[in-house]
Amino acid sequence: MTAKFNNNSNPTLSEDYRPLELEKEIRSFWQQNYIQQKLEENRLKQNKGILGYVEGPPTLNGVPHVGHARGRVMKDLRYRLKTMQGYYIPFWAGWDTQGLPVELEVEKLLNVKNKRELLEKVGMEKFVEECKKAIIKYHKEWVAADQKLGVFINHDKAYWTYHDSYIEREWQILKHAWNQGLLEEGHYVVAYCPGCQTSLSSAEVGYEGAYKIVEDPSLYFKFKRSDTENEYFLIWTTMPFTLITDTMLAVNPEAEYAKVQVGNEKWILAKQRVQPVMQELQVHEYRVTETVTGKDLEGTGYEYPFKDLIPEQAEIEKKHLLIHKVILEDFVDVDTATGVVHQSPGNGEEDFFAAQKRNVPIYAPFDDEVKFTKEAGTFIGKFARDTDSIVVEELKKRNLLVQCKTIEHEYPTCWRSHHKLFWLARKEYFLRTDRINNKVLEAAEKVNYYYESPKNRFISFLKESKPWCISRERVWGAPLPIWKCQKCSHKSLIASKQELLEKATEKQPEDFELHKPWVDRVILKCEKCGGTMRREDFVLDAWHNSGAAPYARFTDEEYKKYVPVDYLTEAMDQTRGWANTLLLEHVILTQKPESPYEAFLLQGLTQDAKGRKMSKSLGNVIEANTTLEKHSADVFRFYVLRKCPPADPNDFDIQELNRRPYQVLSTLYHLSRFTLQNAEFDNFNPQDHSLEWARNGRHFKPVDRWLLSKLQETTETCTEKLETCQFNFALAALEDFVIESLSRLYVPMVRKELWTDDPHTLERRLAVYSTLYHALKTVNSLFNPTTPYLSEALHQRVFKKLDPTLVETVNLESWPESDTQLRDLVLEDNFETLFKAVSLAYAARQAGKLKRRWPLGKAVVVSPEEARETLSRNECLFLEISNVKTAEWVGTPPESVKGQEWVSASEGDLSVYLNIQRDEKLLGEGIMRDLARRVQALRKERGYRPTDVLEAAHIADLDDEYTRLLQPYLDEMAELVRARKVYLHSSRSEIKIQWYDSQLGEKRIAISIH
């Protein structure tokens, strides 16, 4: 063997594309050469603009799964794209570290059941310490995933939402709200989770997956109308325990109500509900005796039945005229149930407002575990939902039970712990974001969301415009910085640690931090009355904590420079989460209808291969780190971006990774390797043999100009689709260019020109290398935001090898721009016609069972005149790729092609006829090509490079007929397989040599190369 290939520089590209190994090598190249740092420093010094960025902080309560990884890839894609375009981005990490999700995770680790047990058994200091430990543990997992994924986010500059410096700035946002009168304590009905023992914001109640099908009682009962013998209000509920907190009945003022005679009783219910309800209750004998309007019932009293069990109910009846009376409310729906709704202002939002506007006292006798307090009489100490059956029993005793069944219905549960939520009237702190809703909506309308449906979902959510309950009855969170005078109730908001320590009546210890319990120990002196001020015992909603990031994670100077940021992307479930709280807090901070982000891409959720949500209970969560240990990051990145639009749910199927995505990247790899090996063989130098050199020297053929034209189109499409977050279409364009234009079309059209080492055609070969080099290098840059490892590897080991003057890393390359000079639409059209004719030729072959490798004698191509001209101009290419010796170009099919020796295929007005008859020459050439293919395969298997020239190739065990047919083609075959000579042997025993078994059609043959 003569090795003409210069094996001078390491490292090289291995024979096969083995991405996992390659990525490991590139990772250490990046680390050893500080590539990530250099990129950031370089763009900081020299840029064409600054684009802000605020990391949507992952919550450190679990390990990242493939859905998280997909999100991080989208962030990194944008970073690499924009830095290649010359922008500086502070692509700095951030971590969400506090709040319920973290607390629950740590409670699980500590094996405690609830908050009470936690405080009794563990204590606050220890708990806070454990929370910090847990965060660090998960942080490691996230950093590891980022490293494997090749995400160039700066971890050294990460923000942590629990740091005092961060919390202080969050407090400053609250101060703005305070000064504008938007932060206030209020008595409201809030959603409350008995498991987490804290209230939730209305945004959290609407979380995806929060509504679950649950079983509840379906209870029909009656309350006796006061001062009547036998009239009853018929009422329906699914929450019997709320009868304990019942204080009024509501009817619709406009609706008609009927009195229905049932036995010797009269039941009052909405007239239009009589028939369905009686059917439901299986009451067959009944009669409407009278109808009245809702208005007529106003002020009517009813006998609250449990006064003996709950003395407080008797007490409050005396306090207000409307207690245990009928009120009129428009919200009462007469299309369902009975149209008479019992009111528990302590347990329902509408009920609460109905009571509040009438100044009816709110009766809400619950503790933090949603157990009844002593105000609930005999029900004291019982968990609310456990009293459902007791209430039903008591109704039965009093002959007030009509029917009790079980129903399944959708009911909101806690998004963290899945407990059924309660609606409870509680004292909480609220941000009155409802009062600035106009500004919020105006700001939201200005944002680019790229896709319609996420935008609509966001805007319609914002329109709900409820006050934001920001207080939480938990431990591990940013503390609410409000101190209240125990004497005169004066309140004061503290906005920094320094201010707090200065105002504290006692010196605080060394380890003081802005967390419970330390912060609770700070006592201030009331400026109004000199009394003692204590902190209001709440922590802040963790969404408020992370929503402060655009302000809290930066210094004042940075904030001015980077906010508003031009682009953010997070998962769809952040619609009610971070996207929302960022916006609200920014409007509060600036008092302007301004969003902290100009564009926000909301990503569809990642589901399992069957389209089911990934969840711990289904056991179908795929962890990022374990996946990336076994699978290539580049292939993963390409796959998740290519599969579907980013806003769509992504059904992640690990089986799919190593199919098409691998194939595309592998093709790019092998094309680059092929180019390198051939180009090095001919001493190609991109500096000397540039596109200009080839053009000026007239070394280009139409096929090269066609490829360069397609490259411009690809560059343009890819860039446009990346900019508009249609990543799947951007990658489809790249895939098409690599697989179709380069691999399937261009290379086969020029491969034969590269086979020779004839010095007379060297310049032509150099022009082909120039085309390939330029196309591949450009496409490699376009791939970099998606497949950073492969792009870096090819940059280092192919392009930089051919041109050592290239920049140190592919990331410092400029983003390719399409060159209109190189675009030629007419030429593209012509080639399109050519390829159509070729594919028809292939189809005709398939019909005649003729392998593509078998040369055929003649093709007749029928087409309209214009196409005919184009096609005949490219006759050489047509003959070359369709492997036919001659072609005839006609307008109508001649008689001759109608015989049996012809096969054909057509599409539209284009038809291709192939003559299937093969004479000895064609048969001989066909055998030669079949054999050459086998020798090529053996070359590859034995590790020869395409440029290596073999001493000899030996073929044995061919029969006489084949030997005779093959004889005239031995020289051509030698050239084709890059061997000095090809020898035929009648039997393998003729020569002592290492033989390899092979197959030619049905025949067993032997091949040897050396």
Stretch that binds Zn ion, among 105-113, 397-405, 408-416, 582-590 (CB under 5 A): 408-416
The minimum distance between CB 627 and Zn ion, in angstroms, equals 30
Q: Which is nearer to Zn ion, 160 or 538 (CB)?
A: 538
Half-sphere exposure of 260 (CA within 13 A, CB side): 23
Under the criterion CB under 5 A, does residue 194 sit at the interface with Zn ion? no
**Residue closer to Zn ion, measured from CB, 196 or 572:** 196
Least Å from the CB of residue 419 to Zn ion: 5
Would you say 326 and 235 are in contact if contact means Cβ atoms under 8 Å apart? no
Min CB(115)–Zn ion separation in Å: 11
Binding to Zn ion in span 560-619, by CB under 5 A:
none
Here's the x/- map for Zn ion, 926-945, by CB under 5 A: it reads as: --------------------
Backbone φ and ψ for 219, nearest 5 degrees, come out as -115, 120
CB atoms near residue 306 (< 10 Å): 20
* Residues 6+ away with beta carbon under 8 Å from 134: 60, 61, 102, 105, 106, 109
Query: Of the two residues 398 and 490, which places its CB atom closer to Zn ion in the complex?
Result: 490
The reply to whether 766 sits near Zn ion by the rule CB under 5 A is no
Quickly count: other Cβ atoms within 10 Å of residue 101's Cβ.
18
Minimal distance, residue 623 CB to Zn ion, in Å: 24
**Measured between alpha carbons, how far is 729 from 717 in angstroms, rounded to an integer?**
8
How far apart are CB 476 and Zn ion at their closest, in Å?
15
- The per-residue DSSP string of 840-876 comes to HHHHHHHHHT--TTS-EEEEEEE--HHHHHHHHHTHH
Smallest distance from the beta carbon of 108 to Zn ion, in angstroms?
Answer: 13
Nearer to Zn ion, 238 or 417 (CB): 417
Radius of gyration of the chain (CA): 39
Helices then strands, counting H and E runs in the chain, come out as 37, 35
The reply on whether position 195 binds Zn ion by CB under 5 A is yes
Indicate the helix (H) or strand (E) that contains 318. Answer: helix 311-319
Helix residue ranges per DSSP H, 429-568: 437-445, 452-464, 497-503, 542-547, 549-552, 556-562
Q: In this chain, which stretch among 21-29, 214-222, 486-494, 799-807 interacts with Zn ion, using CB under 5 A?
A: 486-494
Contact range with Zn ion by CB under 5 A, out of 457-465, 524-532, 742-750, 770-778 = 524-532
Single out the residue of 121, 295, 397, 487 in contact with Zn ion (rule: CB under 5 A). 487
State the Cα–Cα distance between residues 14 and 28, nearest whole angstrom.
Answer: 17
Q: Among residues 165, 218, 417, 532, which is the contact residue for Zn ion, using CB under 5 A? A: 417
> Within 10 Å of residue 154's Cβ, how many Cβ atoms?
16
Residue 531 or 702 with smaller CB distance to Zn ion: 531
- Asked whether position 872 contacts Zn ion by CB under 5 A, the answer is no
The single-letter DSSP state of residue 48 is: S
The helix or strand, by DSSP H or E, that contains position 273, with its residue range, turns out to be none
**Least distance in Å: CB of 196 to Zn ion?**
3
Asked if 420 and 411 count as a contact pair (C-beta separation under 8 A), the reply is: yes
Task: Single out the segment in contact with Zn ion by CB under 5 A; choices: 351-359, 414-422, 713-721, 926-934.
Answer: 414-422
Helix 578-590 and helix 164-179, axial crossing angle in degrees, nearest 10: 60
Stretch near Zn ion under the rule CB under 5 A, chosen from 480-488, 649-657, 799-807, 855-863: 480-488
Of 297-305, 365-373, 519-527, 663-671, which segment contacts Zn ion by CB under 5 A? 519-527
Residue 157 vs 385, nearer CB to Zn ion: 385
Gap between the Cα atoms of 179 and 883, Å rounded: 82
Q: Stretches 416-424, 467-475, 813-821, 905-913: which one binds Zn ion (CB under 5 A)?
A: 416-424
Rule CB under 5 A: choose which of 69, 93, 191, 193 binds Zn ion.
193
In the set 69, 145, 297, 414, which binds Zn ion (CB under 5 A)?
414
Q: Which of 734, 773, 733, 732 is nearest to 750 (CA)?
A: 773
Only segment of 479-487, 516-524, 759-767, 898-906 that touches Zn ion (CB under 5 A):
479-487
Q: Are 798 and 672 in contact (CB under 8 A)?
A: yes
- The residue with tokens 């087409």 is 863
- Strands of the sheet containing 248-251, edge to edge, are 325-328, 248-251, 340-343
CA distance 76 to 634: 12
3-class state of residue 597 by DSSP: strand
Size of the site for Zn ion (CB under 5 A): 14
490 binds Zn ion (CB under 5 A): yes
Q: Binding of Zn ion at residue 190 (CB under 5 A)? A: no
Q: Which of 253, 361, 531, 857 touches Zn ion (CB under 5 A)? A: 531
Exactly one of 262, 469, 485, 802 binds Zn ion (CB under 5 A); which one?
485
CB of 107: closest distance to Zn ion in angstroms? Answer: 11
Q: Which of 401, 523, 529, 614 binds Zn ion (CB under 5 A)?
A: 529
Interaction pattern, residues 134-173, with Zn ion; x per rule: CB under 5 A: ----------------------------------------
Min dist. Cβ of residue 370 to Zn ion (A)? 11
Whole-angstrom Cα distance, residue 860 to residue 872?
11
Residue 403 pairs in a beta bridge with: 220
Give the SS3 label for residue 129: helix
Give the nearer residue to Zn ion in terms of CB position, either 112 or 529. Answer: 529
CB 533 within 8 A of CB 516: no
Q: How far apart are alpha carbons 152 and 83 in whole angstroms?
A: 11
Regarding 113 and contact with Zn ion (CB under 5 A), the answer is no
DSSP 982-997: EEEESSGGGS-S--EE
Q: What is the per-residue DSSP string for 326-355? A: EEE-TT--SSSTTSEEEE-TTT-HHHHHHH
Q: Does the protein bind Zn ion through residue 525 (CB under 5 A)?
A: no
| Residue whose CB is less far from Zn ion, 370 or 657 | 370
Residue 490 C-beta: closest distance to Zn ion, Å: 4
- Asked whether position 319 contacts Zn ion by CB under 5 A, the answer is no
C-beta of 192 vs 706, nearer to Zn ion: 192
In the complex, least distance from residue 544 CB atom to Zn ion, rounded to whole angstroms: 18
Burial (CB < 10 A; 0-12, 13-18, 19+), residue 157, is middle
Residues belonging to the active site: 57, 96, 543, 574, 578, 613, 616
Q: Are 214 and 412 in contact (CB under 8 A)?
A: no
Nearer to Zn ion, 428 or 957 (CB): 428
Determine, following the binding rule CB under 5 A, whether residue 526 of this chain makes contact with Zn ion: yes
Pick the binder of Zn ion from 3, 44, 407, 488 (CB under 5 A): 488
Shortest separation between residue 466's beta carbon and Zn ion, angstroms: 20
Is 99 near Zn ion (CB under 5 A)?
Answer: no
528: contact with Zn ion by CB under 5 A? yes
Distances from the Cα of 595 to the Cαs of 183, 471, 586, in angstroms? 20, 24, 6
Among 66, 196, 588, 633, interactor with Zn ion by CB under 5 A: 196
**Cβ nearer to Zn ion, comparing 384 with 977:** 384
Nearer to Zn ion, 212 or 396 (CB): 212
Contact stretch for Zn ion (CB under 5 A) within 277-285, 488-496, 551-559, 779-787: 488-496
Q: Whose Cβ is closer to Zn ion: residue 370's or residue 793's? A: 370
Q: Least distance to Zn ion from the beta carbon of 201, Å? A: 13
**Pairing verdict, β 265-270 and 287-293:** unpaired
Q: By CB under 5 A, is residue 332 in contact with Zn ion?
A: no
Q: What is the dihedral of CA 439, 441, 442, 448, to 10 degrees?
A: 140
Distances from the Cα of 545 to the Cα of 57, 89, 251, 681, angstroms? 11, 23, 42, 61
Question: What is the rounded distance in angstroms from the CA atom of residue 246 to the CA atom of residue 237?
Answer: 12
Residues that bind Zn ion (CB under 5 A): 193, 195-196, 414, 416-417, 485, 487-488, 490, 526, 528-529, 531
